[in-house]
Amino acid sequence: MSRGHNFSAGPAALPETVLRQAQAELLEWGGSAASVMEVSHRGKEFMAMAAQAEADLRELLAIPANYKVLFLQGGATQQFAQIPMNLARPDQRVDYVVTGDWGEKAVREAGSLAQVHVAANSAGNRHTAIPPRAEWDLDPASAYVHYTPNETIRGVEFFDIPDVGDVPLIADMSSTILSRPIDVSRFGLIYAGAQKNIGPSGIVVVIVREDLLQRCPKSLPKIFSFAEHAAQDSLLNTPNTFGWYLAGLIFKWLKAEGGLAAMELRNRRKAETLYACIDESGFYANPVEKSARSWMNVPFTLPRPELDELFLQESKAAGLLALKGHKLVGGMRASIYNAVTQQSVDALVEFMRDFARRRG
Ligand SMILES: *Cc1c(COP(=O)(O)O)cnc(C)c1O
């Protein structure tokens, strides 16, 4: 058995060194004489680990002191509902900018909880470009503006943070968080499901500006309330202890690798390598406008759909995993998150060139 080059969209590749460390301390973790999965989440050891994970994440993202960091469950999908429940009244307008399928889902979930207004939508060009900021129909009285900085399925990414004035900006960063430095102070709330760039699935990280917690209705069941989770340091009930631990190892790994500035350089180079291969091939194609092409998710098509199955079979045999595109788009998709190395991207590109030569 050897590990393949893993291009899975999520749950996605994890750094091998982190997996080896988890393997080494699986039976006896720290000084606890038990696995991290077998100890109380209210014990000294677990609480110290959890606090360190938060501190490391704060350092990596330079999170200002007036933001709370929550480690919750329910994934990004639960946040589609939890955000309007906490931050908007049912009669209040909320603005959504839709640049892909996850944004569409966020709109649908919020629909019964607030007055959802779609301020811009790139569906007209099949989500291959970002609608210019000047064309967004925003209301300064809205409770918030929600957008998706990286759309995982069609590979469309924002390379700047939109200016939305004083209205809190909310970002679903599930598939781009930690891929480069960001200015957290520009956001009211950032959330990210863990299984792309943070760790295993089962955790969602929420970074929320403290003043917004005053909006959380007292009538909300505690388990849905950001204010309650913040007041109890995300230990309102039993958290995903193993997921939190592994996320903590990932944060340490990121720091050891040079932090997010180093990730930015690596991720840019990986994306450039892959898009150059596609553009120079005369065989593969990516429909996204060049200025909005994702560094994390790279969909591409082959010239004839009947080649898809062959490409998947041969790539798998060559140790290149999980390249099948999302069913909404077809073709292929290579997800190249932080844990995917330049060597893996080089191996993919070499295979793609060879395949095009043989089948072109
Ligand atoms: C994967 C993903 C989600 C869904 O995350 P879950 O944890 O499965 O709920 C939502 N938004 C984006 C941008 C994603 O990439």
* Domain ranges for the chain: 16-256, 259-359
What's at 346, amino acid-wise? D
204-209 vs 67-72, strand pairing mode: antiparallel
The catalytic residue among 29, 68, 101, 196 is: 196
Residues 6+ apart with CB under 8 A from 342: 266, 269, 270, 273
Whole-angstrom Cα Rg for the chain: 21
pLDDT at 1: 61
The catalytic residue among 56, 95, 101, 172 is: 172
Half-sphere exposure of 240 (CA within 13 A, CB side): 21
Are 94 and 68 contacting, i.e. CB atoms less than 8 angstroms apart?
Answer: no
- The yes-or-no verdict on residue 15 having pLDDT over 70 is yes
Asked if CATH classification 1.10.1740.10 holds for the domain at 259-359, the reply, yes or no, is no
Q: Determine if residue 237 is labeled as part of a ligand binding site.
A: yes
Q: Determine if residue 128 is labeled as part of a ligand binding site.
A: no
Tell which atom from ligand 1 comes closest to the C-alpha of 79. 9
pLDDT at 21: 98
Q: Determine if residue 292 is labeled as part of a ligand binding site.
A: no
Phi, psi of 266 (to 5 degrees): -65, -45
Please compute the mean of the pLDDT values over residues 1-19 and round it to a whole number: 95
- The yes-or-no verdict on residue 133 having pLDDT over 80 is yes
Q: Which two tokens stand for residue 110?
A: 């919020």
Nearest to 206, CA basis, from 74, 100, 347: 74
For the stretch 87-121, pLDDT in tens is 999 999 999 999 999 999 999 999 999 999 999 99
For the stretch 187-229, pLDDT in tens is 999 999 999 999 999 999 999 999 999 999 999 999 999 999 9
**Average pLDDT over the chain, rounded to whole?**
97
Please compute the mean of the pLDDT values over residues 257-272 and round it to a whole number: 98
**Eight-class DSSP state of 360:** -
Pick the CATH number of 16-256 from 1.10.540.10, 3.40.50.150, 3.40.640.10, 3.60.21.10: 3.40.640.10
CA 20, CA 8: separation in Å to the nearest integer?
Answer: 20
pTM recorded for the entire structure: 0.98
- The yes-or-no verdict on residue 306 having pLDDT over 70 is yes
Dist. CA 117 → ligand 1 center (Å): 21
Q: Which two tokens stand for residue 155?
A: 């590979």
CA of residue 219 relative to chain centroid, distance: 30
Q: Which two tokens stand for residue 135?
A: 């064309």
* Catalytic residue status for 172: yes
CA 221, CA 66: separation in Å to the nearest integer?
Answer: 25
pLDDT at 331: 96
pLDDT at 2: 87
